[in-house]
C-alpha cells in the first residue's frame, strides 16, 4: 500500500462495514475463470418495468420511490449469470438529493441504500444452493458516477467540467465515504470522461486506504476518452494505484471496443474491463436514446473483446439480462 505518514487520512467508520465482504473479488473470480461477467444496464431494465426515469436523478429516483424494483433487477442479472451487481448510485449524490429537499443525512441514507439493495439481492441469490453450480459468489460494486452525471446534462460524454482537481475531489469525497461505509465489495468508478477526474478518484482511493475500485472511462473513438486525452495515457495514470483492481471502458460504442482494449493494454498489466452500451446514442435534450443497436447479438459479439484481451465483460446502457446471459454462457468456458 502507498502510505504517506504526513497525509491526513479520511476517517471511515469501519464498524458499519460488514466483515464478510470479499477483499479481492476480481482476483478471486479470475483465478477460477478466464473471464468475469459484469451486469448490464440498470436504468433500461427499470424503464422496461414501467419506471419513469425522465428526471435529473435518473435511476437514483427509483431509490426513493420503488427500491424493490432495483433489487429485483439485480436479482435478474445474477440469475442471468452476472458475477457482480453495479449499484444504483451512479447518479445518486448528496447535492442531487439536496435539490429535492432531502437533508444530508437522508441523502447519505439513500446512497447507502443502493448498496444494501444489491447486497440483499446477492445474499438471497447465493443462499439458494441451486444457484451456485459452476460459478463464483457474485460481488457488489458500488457505482461512483462522474461529476457529469450529477449535472445530468450529458457532461459525462464530453468532460470539460471547468473544475479543478481539488474541486472534483471535494465533490466525490462525501459520496465515496458513504458508499464505502455501506460495505460494498468494491467501488465501480465508471463513465469517467477525462484524465483529471481519474486523477481525483485515485487520490481519494489513496486517502481512504480501505477499498478497491475499478476505473472505467467513456470514450469517443478508437483511442480517446470523451474529453480528448488518449485512453492509453489515462490508463497509465491509474496503473500505479494499488487500489485499482481493473481498468477499462464503459458506456462507449461497441464499434470502438476492440481497439480501445489494445490501447489500454499498452499501459497496464491490470485486468482490462469493458462494458459498452448498445451503440445507440443518448439525446440529452429529449432524455431519449436514438439509433439502433450495433449488433444483433451483443452477447455473442462480446466474445471478440475477450479474444482482444479483456477479462471483465458486460454491458452498459440499453443492454439487458438476455445479453448478459449470452455472455455468461461462453465466459466461464470460452473457446
What are the residues binding Zn ion (CB under 5 A)?
251, 277, 316-317
Q: Which is nearer to Zn ion, 198 or 317 (CB)?
A: 317
Q: Which is nearer to Zn ion, 94 or 251 (CB)?
A: 251
User: DSSP string of 45-72?
Assistant: HHHHTT----STTTTHHHHHH-HHHHHH
| CB of 277 vs Zn ion, minimal distance in Å | 5
Residue 37: its H or E element: strand 36-37
| CB of 128 vs Zn ion, minimal distance in Å | 30
Q: Which is nearer to Zn ion, 136 or 278 (CB)?
A: 278
Count CB neighbours of 23 within 10 A.
10
Q: Which is nearer to Zn ion, 136 or 277 (CB)?
A: 277
Any alpha helices (H) in 192-320, and if so which ranges? 195-208, 231-239, 257-265, 298-307
| CB of 13 vs Zn ion, minimal distance in Å | 31
- Residue 225 near residue 159 (C-beta atoms within 8 A): yes
Q: Which is nearer to Zn ion, 107 or 231 (CB)?
A: 231
Q: Which is nearer to Zn ion, 218 or 268 (CB)?
A: 218
| CB of 248 vs Zn ion, minimal distance in Å | 13
Q: Which is nearer to Zn ion, 41 or 178 (CB)?
A: 41
| CB of 250 vs Zn ion, minimal distance in Å | 6
Strand partners, 129: none
Q: Collapsing DSSP states into helix, strand and coil, what is residue 100?
A: coil
| CB of 251 vs Zn ion, minimal distance in Å | 3
Residue 294: its H or E element: none
- Cα atoms in the 13 Å half-sphere on the side-chain side of 280: 19
Strand partners, 25: none
- Residue 259 near residue 233 (C-beta atoms within 8 A): no
Instruction: Provide the grid cell at 194.
Output: 477525462
| CB of 191 vs Zn ion, minimal distance in Å | 6
| CB of 57 vs Zn ion, minimal distance in Å | 16
How far is residue 156 CA from its own chain's centroid? 13
User: How many residues in the chain?
Assistant: 335
Question: What's the rounded Cα separation, in Å, for the pair 335 and 320?
Answer: 23
Q: Which is nearer to Zn ion, 136 or 253 (CB)?
A: 253
Instruction: Provide the grid cell at 234.
Output: 489515462
Amino acid at each position: 500500500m502507498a502510505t504517506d505518514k504526513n497525509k491526513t487520512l479520511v476517517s471511515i467508520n469501519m464498524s458499519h462495514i460488514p466483515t464478510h465482504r470479499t477483499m479481492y473479488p476480481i482476483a478471486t473470480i479470475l483465478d477460477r475463470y478466464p473471464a468475469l461477467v459484469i451486469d448490464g444496464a440498470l436504468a433500461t431494465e427499470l424503464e422496461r418495468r414501467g419506471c419513469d426515469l425522465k428526471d435529473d436523478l435518473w435511476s437514483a429516483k427509483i431509490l426513493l420511490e420503488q427500491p424493490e424494483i432495483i433489487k429485483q433487477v439485480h436479482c435478474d442479472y445474477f440469475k442471468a449469470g452476472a458475477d457482480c451487481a453495479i449499484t444504483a448510485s451512479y447518479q445518486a449524490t448528496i447535492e442531487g438529493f439536496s435539490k429535492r429537499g432531502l437533508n444530508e443525512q437522508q441523502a447519505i441514507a439513500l446512497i447507502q441504500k443502493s448498496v444494501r439493495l444489491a447486497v440483499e439481492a446477492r445474499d438471497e441469490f447465493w443462499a439458494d444452493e441451486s444457484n451456485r453450480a459452476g460459478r463464483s459468489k457474485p460481488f457488489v460494486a458500488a457505482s461512483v458516477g462522474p461529476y457529469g452525471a450529477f449535472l445530468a446534462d450529458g457532461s459525462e460524454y464530453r468532460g470539460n467540467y471547468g473544475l479543478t482537481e481539488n474541486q472534483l475531489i471535494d465533490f466525490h469525497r462525501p459520496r465515496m465515504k458513504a458508499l464505502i461505509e455501506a460495505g460494498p465489495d468494491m467501488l465501480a468508478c465508471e463513465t469517467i470522461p477525462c484524465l483529471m477526474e481519474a486523477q481525483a478518484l485515485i487520490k481519494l482511493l489513496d486517502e481512504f486506504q480501505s477499498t478497491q475500485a475499478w476505473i472505467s472511462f467513456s470514450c469517443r473513438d478508437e483511442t480517446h476518452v470523451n474529453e480528448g486525452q488518449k485512453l492509453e495515457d489515462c490508463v497509465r495514470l491509474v496503473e500505479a494505484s494499488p487500489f485499482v483492481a481493473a481498468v477499462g471502458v464503459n458506456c462507449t460504442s461497441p464499434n470502438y471496443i476492440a481497439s480501445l482494449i489494445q490501447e489500454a493494454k499498452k499501459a497496464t498489466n491490470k485486468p482490462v474491463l469493458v462494458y459498452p452500451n448498445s451503440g445507440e446514442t443518448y439525446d440529452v435534450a429529449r432524455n431519449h436514446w436514438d439509433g439502433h443497436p450495433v449488433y444483433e447479438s451483443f452477447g455473442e459479439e462480446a466474445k471478440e473483446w475477450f479474444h482482444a484481451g479483456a477479462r471483465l465483460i458486460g454491458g452498459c446502457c440499453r443492454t439487458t439480462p438476455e445479453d448478459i446471459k449470452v455472455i455468461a454462457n461462453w465466459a466461464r468456458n470460452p473457446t
